[in-house]
Structure 1
C-alpha cells in the first residue's frame, strides 16, 4: 500500500511528528495518525456568499461519509466569492481564490479533498486549485434554490431581475411593484435557479467527471443533496486509496464532454473562460475554436431561463443532466472517466426524461445548433463569443453604426440621455471591461438598452464588449472580445458612427474600415483614462500578470500543475 501523504507529517517518534500529532489530536482516536487518510473539505461557506451559506450543513454530511469510510475529515474554510456582493467583480478574485486554495492544499497534511462550491466563481476556482495541486478531489455542488413566486408567477433569479428592471425603465412596471418582488426572488438556500453560471458550472463539473454522476442540479433544500454528500465523503477515501488524481482521469475527452453538455443545456458563456483556465492548469490544449467545433450541431434540449421558460428545480424533476447527456450520447467521448472510475457514458443507461416540456428529446430540440459561436475578424483577431440560444435570430446577421462608451461610468452617464444618437439598428460598444482594463472582466457586456428605445418597444440590440455577461442574462451580446481594449485590441479604436458587421453564421465580427485607417488611429484619452491603473495589492499583481479571455484569464505564472510537494520544511 502506498504511504499516505499525511504520514510525512505524522509518522515517527521525533519531535516534529509529536508536534503535528499533538496539536491535531483533540479527541481523535489513537489510530487517526496510523495511515488513515486525512481528507480536507475545502468549504466556501460564508454569510457574505449567500448562495453558499448552507455549505456548512453539506460539510457535516461529507464529514460523516469520510469517517464512515475510515478517513479523518477536516473542514478547511477557503476563500469564498459572493457574486452579488463582491466589488468590483467576483471574477477579479477567482484566480486569487484558486491560488490560495492550491497553496493551502499543498501546505497541509492531507491526502485528498472534497470541494464544496456553488456561487459562480467558487467551483471554477476550486477545480483550478485541485488541478494544480493534483491531489484526489471530488466536487460537491451546493445546488440551486427552490423557485419563488410573485403574483403567482415563478421568478428566475437574475434573469427576472434584468427583465423587470428594464420594464421599470420602459415605464411598463412601477418601481413599487418591482421592489415588492424583491422578497420573493430568493426563496431558500442555494444558488440561482436559472441556467446561469452557478448551475452551468455545477453541471459542467459533472460532465467533466469531477462530480458523482446524478448529483449536480440537486436542489440545495433537497435531502438527496445530503445523501450524495455522504456518498462523496465515502468515495474520496476510495480515491485516495487508488490514487485517482485529476491528472489520471481528466483528459481532452473530458473537456469534449463538458462542451457538449454546455451546448445541450444552454449554459452560460462564462463556462468558456472557466474551462479554458481549468484546462490550462492541467496542461490540456483546449482552445476557443474547440468550443465552436465541438459545440457545432449540438442541439439545445433544456427549456430553462434565460434561453427558455423553466427553472432548475423543474430541470431536476424532469431528469437532470444525465437524461440530457443520454440524448447526445453519440457526441460524447466514450472513454472519458469520472471520479467513480467508470466512463461518464456508463452512467447514462437508466436516465430518462420525465417531463418533455422541460427537457426535450433529441428529435425535437428547442434549437438544432446551440453551441457557443466563436467570432473572428479585425475587431476580434483573438476571438469573441456569442450565445446564439440567448440572442434574437433577426440580429445574428446585422450591420449597424457604433455607439461607443469608453467605460462603465461613461455608459451609466449617457445611456439614457435623450440626445444620444442611437436607434434600434445601432451597435452598442463598451470597452475597458476586459481582464486588464477593468480589472477583472466584469459582467457588463449585456448593456442596458437606451431608455428612449425601450419606450419605443425595442427589447434587444447588438452589443459588443470585452467584458463578460451574467449567465442569467440574455440578448444579442458579443463578449470576451480579444485582445481587449486595454491590451491593444482594435476595440479601443472604434469611433461613433463606424460600421460594425456581425455575421454569426459566417463567424465574423468586423469593423468596416480599411486596415490603413485602423493603423492611423490611436485610443482617445477618455478610453485610456478608463483603464485600470492599480498601484498595490492583488489588483496590481492581477493586471501585471493576467492573460486574455481566449486562454481563460488566468495569471501567467499559475498555468500548469505545481504538484503536491511542499518545497521546504522548516520544522
Structure 2
C-alpha cells in the first residue's frame, strides 16, 4: 500500500525532530546508547513490548525472538525499541494472574503513551498476557500487531502423548486412586512440558492467541505455529516488517476491531472448543474497543456453531501441534466461512476473506467438517436462573453427557483451604450426585477470580472410579481443565450474589439444553437468608489490591476496571514533551 504518512507526521518526530533544547536532550540520549541520527531520523520508531522473564516458561524463547522482531523492523526501515512489560506466568504467579491482567493492560498503555513510539509489536502468549497487552494497546490506539508465543511441543510419557493441564488432572486422580507410583508421577512431571511455549492443549493460551488472530490482530496462521518451529522465527521477523508498513498506512486497532471482528472471534472460539476464560477476556477487549459484546452474543453463537477442532480437552486425541500441521486456524476458519464476516480488515491490510482464501485442511480428523463435528453446538453455554441472574458458563463439550441435565444436593465450601481439607476426608458425606460448591472465589472474593473452579473429585469417590461430577463456583478454571464445571457465577457470592445464600443439602437443578441453573429453595426462605447475610471482611486495605477490589467489574462484564473502559471519561491527550 502507498504511504499515507510523511516522516514529519510520525509521532516520534515530536521527540526527535524539533530544533530546541528538549529535542536536543532526546537526540543526545539516543546517541549516548550508540545510535546515529541516521538510524532514527525520518523512520518509524517501533516499540516491542516483551513479556519475557526468568519466571515465565511459556516465553523463554522471547529472549532471543525479540532479536528476530528487531531484524524485521530494521529490514523495513524502522527503528526498534524494546520495552519490557509485566510478565504474568500462570505457572508461578500467586494468587492468580487474573488479579494482574489489568495491571499489565495499564503497563502496556502507559509504556506506549509515554515513549516516542509510532507503532508496537506485542509479544505475549501465556494466558493473561494476550488480553492484557491487547487491552492496553487498544486503549492507546497506535498501529499494533500481536506476536503469539506459540504452543509447546507434545508431551510424552511411556509412549503416551501428554497434554498440558488436562493430563496433569487425569494422572493426579490416578495417583490419588493408587494406580500410578511416585516414580511415574515424577516422570509425568518431566515429560508433560518439554519445550518453551504455551500449553499445547486448547487451553486459555491457545484460545486467546487464536482470538487475537480471528479479530485480525495477528498475521494469518500465526496463533498456532509451535514455539519451537523455525516458522515461528520467520513469523516474528515478518511481524517486525509488517508493523513498519502499518505505521505508514496508519492502520490502527480502531480500524480492525469492529463489532464484526469480535463476532468472528466468538464464532471461532466456539468452533475451537475454547477455554471458558474466552468469555471474560473477549467482553473486556470488545468494551475497550468501544464494542458492546455481552453474554447473549456467546449464547447465540453457541447454538449455531459446532465444535470442529478435535483438540483436547474438548477433543479426545490431538494437541496444538497436530492442529497446526492440519491447517491451523486459517484451515478451521475456512470450514466455517458461512458463519464469519469475511469483509473485516486485518493487520495485513487485507480482509479476513483474503487471508483465508487459499486455506486448506490436511487432516479431517483433527479439524472436522461442520457435518462431522466433535460436538454439535458451540464449546460454551451460558446459563441463567435464580442462582446466577447475570449468568454463568459451562463447557458442555468437555463434560460427561449425563450431567447436562442434573439435580443434586449442594455440598458447600466457603473457602479453598476448607474445601481442600474436606476433599481428602475418607468420611466426607458425599456422593457422585452431589453438586460441589466453592464460593467467595470471584473477582473480589478470590481475590482476582482464581482458577479454582475445577474442584477436585473427593478422594473416596475417586477410589470408587468417579471421574466427573457437577461443580459450581464463582471462580474460573484453567482452559486445559474439563468436566461438569459451572463457572463465573454472577454476581459473585462475596458481594452478596445468590450463591452466598446456598446451604449444604439444598437441591440445585442444571439443564444445559434449557440454559438454566436454579436453586430449588422457596423465595421466602431465600429472602430470610438474604436478610441474615453479612458481607465478608475486605481482602485488601492498601496498594494495588485495594484499588482492584474497588474498581473491578463482575465476570459478565469482563472484569475490567471501571475507570479503564471506553466511555468512562475523556480520552487521554498526548503527553507534553516540554
Residues 1:543 and 2:549 aligned together: yes
Which residue does 1:433 correspond to in 2? 441
Q: Does 1:131 align with 2:135?
A: no
Partner of 2:327: 319
Measured after TM superposition, the shift of residue 28 of structure 1 is: 2.5
> Aligned pair in 2 of structure 1 residues 190, 524: CA closer, same or farther (>3 Å)?
farther
Residue 235 of structure 1 is aligned with which of 239, 242, 253?
242
Q: Distance in 2 between matches of 1:540 and 1:188?
A: 38
1:398 aligns with 2:406: yes
Cα separation, 2, equivalents of 1:362 and 1:412: 41
Aligned match for 1:337, one of 345, 359, 363: 345
Instruction: Report the counterpart of residue 493 of structure 1 in structure 2.
Output: 501
1:482 equivalent in alignment to 2:490: yes
Separation (CA, whole Å) in 2 of partners of 1:223 and 1:564: 41
TM-aligned CA deviation for residue 229 of structure 1: 1.1
Q: CA deviation at 1:140?
A: 0.5
The aligned residue for residue 184 of structure 2 is 177
Structure 2 unpaired stretches of 5+? none
**1:6 matched residue in structure 2:** 12
The alpha-carbon deviation at position 161 of structure 1 amounts to 0.7
Structure 1 residue 557 corresponds to structure 2 residue 545? no
Q: Deviations over 1:189-239 (max 9, x none)?
A: 111111111111111110010001111110011111111111111110111
Aligned position for 1:28: 35
SS at 1:260's partner residue?
helix
> Once the 2 structures are TM-superposed, how far is the Cα of residue 120 of structure 1 from its aligned partner?
0.6
Give, in whole Å, the separation in 2 of the partners of 1:466 and 1:156. Answer: 26
Per-residue deviation, 1:57: 1.8
1:186 corresponding residue in structure 2: 193
Question: Which whole-Å CA distance do the structure 1 matches of 2:412 and 2:37 have between them?
Answer: 68
Partner of 1:468: 476
CA distance in 2, matches of 1:70, 1:143: 27
* 2:393 matches 1:385: yes
TM-superposed CA distance for 1:307, in Å, is: 1.4
Q: Distance in 1 between matches of 2:396 and 2:531?
A: 31
Q: Which segment is superposed worse, 80-89 or 361-370?
A: 361-370
Q: Give distance in 1, aligned partners of 2:291 and 2:346.
A: 17
Deviation string 1:264-299 (CA, Å, 9 cap, x unpaired) is 110111111111111111111000110111232211
CA offset at residue 334 of structure 1? 2.1
Distance 2:182 2:270 in 1: 36
Give TM-score, length-normalised by structure 2.
0.96
Instruction: Select 1:88's aligned residue among 62, 73, 95.
Output: 95
User: What's the RMSD between the two structures over aligned residues?
Assistant: 1.5
Matched, 1:504 2:508: no
Contact 1:113-1:135 at 8 Å conserved across structures: yes
Conserved 8 A contact 2:280-2:558: yes
2:129 pairs, out of 111, 122, 146, with 122
Counterpart contact for 1:11–1:33, Cα < 8 Å: no
Q: Could you tell me how far apart the structure 2 residues matched to 1:442 and 1:116 are?
A: 24
Tell me, in whole angstroms, the C-alpha distance in 2 between the residues paired with 1:524 and 1:239: 58
Instruction: Report the 3-state secondary structure (helix = DSSP H, G, I; strand = E; otherwise coil) of the residue aligned with 2:147.
Output: strand
Structure-to-structure mapping, 1:13-412, within 5 angstroms: 13-25=19-31, 26-308=33-315, 309-412=317-420
Contact 1:134 1:563 in 2 (8 A): no
Other structure's SS at 2:510 match: strand
Q: State the secondary structure of the residue aligned to 1:211.
A: coil
In structure 2, C-alpha distance between the alignment counterparts of 1:396 and 1:336, rounded to whole Å: 36
Distance 2:360 2:224 in 1: 15
The verdict on how the C-alpha distance between 1:563 and 1:189 changes in structure 2, with shifts beyond 3 A counting, is farther
Distance in structure 1 (CA, Å) of the matches to 2:39 and 2:359: 40
Residue 141 (structure 1) shift: 0.1
Shift of 1:353: 1.3
Deviates more, 1:361-370 or 1:424-433: 361-370
Do 2:438 and 2:474's aligned partners in 1 also have CA atoms closer than 8 Å?
A: yes
Q: CA offsets per residue over residues 348-405 of structure 1, 9 Å max, x none?
A: 2211111122111222111111242111111000100111111111101100000000
Q: Supply the distance in 2 between the matched residues of 1:28 and 1:296 (Cα, whole angstroms).
A: 57
Gaps spanning 5+ residues in structure 1: where? none
Q: Deviations over 1:421-456 (max 9, x none)?
A: 211111011101100001100001010011111111
Q: Distance in 2 between matches of 1:517 and 1:312?
A: 49
* DSSP 3-state at the match of 2:167: helix
Q: Any conservation in 1 of the 2:217–2:256 contact (CA below 8 Å)? A: no
8 Å contact 1:21–1:33 — kept in the other structure?
no
Q: Which whole-Å CA distance do the structure 1 matches of 2:531 and 2:241 have between them?
A: 57
Q: Give me the whole-angstrom Cα distance separating, in 2, the residues matched to 1:395 and 1:447.
A: 15
Tell me, yes or no, if the aligned pair for 1:317 and 1:354 is still in contact at 8 Å: yes
Decide which moves more: 457-466 or 342-351: 342-351
Alpha-carbon offset, residue 567 of structure 1: 4.2
Q: Distance in 2 between matches of 1:175 and 1:32?
A: 58
User: Is 501-510 or 339-348 further displaced after alignment?
Assistant: 339-348
The alpha carbon displacement at 1:314 in A equals 0.7
For 1:346 and 1:336, how far apart are their aligned partners in 2? 10
CA contact (8 A) 2:213 2:223 kept: yes
Mapped to 1, the partners of 2:223 and 2:12 lie a distance apart of: 30
Deviation of 1:524 after TM superposition, in Å, equals 7.9
- Asked if the contact 1:134–1:564 (Cα under 8 Å) also holds between the matched residues in 2, the reply is no
